Structure 1
Amino acid sequence: MTLFLRILAAFPLPVLHVLGWWLFVIAFYVVRWRVPLARGNLAAAFPDKPEAERERILRDCYRNLGSSLLEAIWGYGANGEALKRRVRIVNPEVVDHCRAQNRSVIMLAGHLCNWEWLLLAAGAHLSIPIDVVYKPLRLAGVDAYVREARRRFGANPIPHKNFLYEVMRRGDEPRAYALLADQTPLAKVPKHWIRFLNRDTAFFLGPERIARYLDASVVYVAMKRVRRGYYDVHIDVIAEPPYDDDAGPAIAEAYARHLEATILASPADWLWIHNKWKYPKPADAARPPRRKRA
């Protein structure tokens, strides 16, 4: 499997985009992989949109996913300069400012556009050491290949189970910690419920705890598709120390607001096949105030 990935990574990107289109056709029209789940997520998020528009978003989501998967493979074999030409970080000075103040920064992103390129490009662009939290892949050889590629671009992949240990071990060093924070928390872990995409949604409280422990800034990282194979990245500060006792919900709320705004601006770029709503909100959970959409 690793050899196959290395061979694919050597292909020109236009060829991989063609393969990505065929992957879209197979996943969406033939296998119908997670289509009912994604269609239901879109219907719940956009009940007022015409069904034809939701179907267009659904198709575009699968088409973008096919392209992104093959782009990710190309990225594993690319050099840093080639990747930096395709992923532009518009305002890297936000992170540079944190490092100049000898302060760590927590970078919260989502499953938008090509999040794998985002992680690779962050390591190539930014001047601060970056620890990337990830869940190890089941195939050990593939997992080692992906970790090797991420390290080559300057990022340090950390398995999610070891993350807190690494944070405590390196707490005195100014570093960036990158997380895809739109994952669904396990049912038994602490979480905060937010009205998000028209549904009560669970969000992690972990970033707040890490920010408080490190006295770190928290930024939201938004990726925007400019055209096929090219992306812009914007970094927005959503929290800075000192933190009060309510920092957890405040950070989660700020992240959810920014993520929702990004999704609403370009719905097809989010991963609608992700089962974000695995379980309902408990009846005894405090109901968050409804927010007006921008």
Structure 2
Amino acid sequence: MQFIIYIIVYPLLWFISKLPFKLLYLISDAVYVLLYHVFSYRKKVVTNNLKLVFPDKSEKEIVSIRKAFYKHLCDMFLEMAKTMSISEKDLKKRFAIKNPEALKNLENLNKSIIVLYGHYASWEWSLVVEKYINFKGLGVYKPLANKYFDKLVRSIRGKYNTELISTKQTINRITQLENAGTKTITAFLSDQSPRVTKEVYWGKFMGIDVPCFTGAERLAKKLDFTTAYLKINKVKRGHYEAEVITLAEDSKKYPDYALTDLFLAELEQQIYKQPAYYFWTHKRWKHSHKKPK
């Protein structure tokens, strides 16, 4: 069944990837109408999230942000399909690195790099960062249930030699490369909601207590890596700009959870400024009520 679904969907994705951007966004507009007005995809989740983190905004403001978010969401998923065939030249034009010298400065420290991301703007197109640094690119991800689509995703994200590794593989793979003398730049999407345990770290995100993933920070401190945040902004439709922000050149010197808090603070600033570009369909605050008193 997995293969049947794949051979049905793959030609459609390939076809979409070959379309010019103008036509791509016309399709995105049509998908928006279906997703938002017809199927109301996760609209309740999005609305509840927005009201939770923006309690002072009016109903009209919430609706405005919600509509803008769904339009961005449709654009982003079609842009993900476009990644299958987009050229390096075009991708660099549409996903510009504002300060490539910051990557070189980190590279010159001769330490591997941990890069923290949020589900904001276009994290998928950030794969082009690999073209601005000589370190081996790694991306930590959750493998897809459909093995054929999982292989496709690894192929797309590996266009510029980035290697996707599962969470369980992360420590062993990075340590293996370090022992072989290979410096790495590893991307972590770190704003997801982990399972709540007694040991989980609770941080503040958008003014609300949430459990936080701290694996990236612990890895940076344990292996003496530098830590950075990739601040991705949407400039206009189909165009993004990323800024490399150094959080720590010497991660070991920071107290526990300080780097995680710095990351959350950076992401918060972006969301408050342009809330429509955050991934509001994700239930990021679903465990907030579980924090021990």
TM score, norm. by length of structure 2? 0.91
Residue in 2 that maps onto 1:288: none
Asked if 1:132 is matched to 2:139, the reply is yes
Following the alignment from structure 2 to structure 1, what is the Cα–Cα distance between the partners of residues 137 and 39? 37
Residue in 2 that maps onto 1:253: 261
Following the alignment from structure 1 to structure 2, what is the Cα–Cα distance between the partners of residues 192 and 138? 28
Asked if 1:68 is matched to 2:76, the reply is yes
CA shift for structure 1 position 191: 2.9
Following the alignment from structure 1 to structure 2, what is the Cα–Cα distance between the partners of residues 108 and 216? 13
Partner of residue 274 from structure 2, selected from 247, 266, 276: 266
Residue in 2 that maps onto 1:168: 175
Following the alignment from structure 1 to structure 2, what is the Cα–Cα distance between the partners of residues 158 and 102? 22
CA shift for structure 1 position 3: 2.6
The 1:180/1:43 distance shift into structure 2, 3 A limit, reads same
Contiguous gaps of at least 5 residues in structure 1: 286-294
Residue in 2 that maps onto 1:38: 46
Residue in 2 that maps onto 1:280: 288
Contact 2:209 2:291 in 1 (8 A): no
Secondary structure, aligned partner of 2:128: helix
Aligned-pair Cα RMSD in Å = 1.6
What per-residue deviation string (whole Å, max 9, x for no partner) do you get for residues 92-124 of structure 1? 222212222211110001111111112x22223
CA shift for structure 1 position 263: 0.7
Kindly provide the amino acid, as one letter, of the partner of residue 216 in structure 1. Answer: F
Following the alignment from structure 2 to structure 1, what is the Cα–Cα distance between the partners of residues 175 and 197? 23
Quick check: 201-210 or 190-199, which moved more? 190-199
What per-residue deviation string (whole Å, max 9, x for no partner) do you get for residues 18-65 of structure 1? 111122111111111111111011001111111101110011001000
Contact 1:84 1:124 in 2 (8 A): no
Residue in 2 that maps onto 1:26: 34
Partner of residue 15 from structure 2, selected from 7, 12, 24: 7
The 1:136/1:34 distance shift into structure 2, 3 A limit, reads same
Residue in 1 that maps onto 2:128: 121
What per-residue deviation string (whole Å, max 9, x for no partner) do you get for residues 215-242 of structure 1? 1111111111111111110111112315
Number of residue pairs matched? 283
What per-residue deviation string (whole Å, max 9, x for no partner) do you get for residues 131-153 of structure 1? 01111122222221121122222
CA shift for structure 1 position 177: 0.5
Percent of matched pairs sharing the same residue: 28
Secondary structure, aligned partner of 1:4: helix
Following the alignment from structure 2 to structure 1, what is the Cα–Cα distance between the partners of residues 251 and 276? 37
Which residues in structure 2 correspond to 1:120-199 (within 5 Å)? 120-172=127-179, 173-188=182-197, 190-199=199-208
Secondary structure, aligned partner of 2:178: coil
Secondary structure, aligned partner of 2:242: strand
Contact 1:38 1:58 in 2 (8 A): yes
Kindly provide the amino acid, as one letter, of the partner of residue 31 in structure 2. Answer: L
Contact 2:222 2:252 in 1 (8 A): no
Contact 1:132 1:158 in 2 (8 A): yes
Structure 1 runs (4+) deviating above 4 angstroms are none
Secondary structure, aligned partner of 2:256: helix
TM score, norm. by length of structure 1? 0.91
Contact 2:174 2:184 in 1 (8 A): no
Kindly provide the amino acid, as one letter, of the partner of residue 131 in structure 1. Answer: L
Partner of residue 54 from structure 1, selected from 48, 53, 62: 62
What per-residue deviation string (whole Å, max 9, x for no partner) do you get for residues 151-203 of structure 1? 22231111222112112211242210001111111223843212221311121
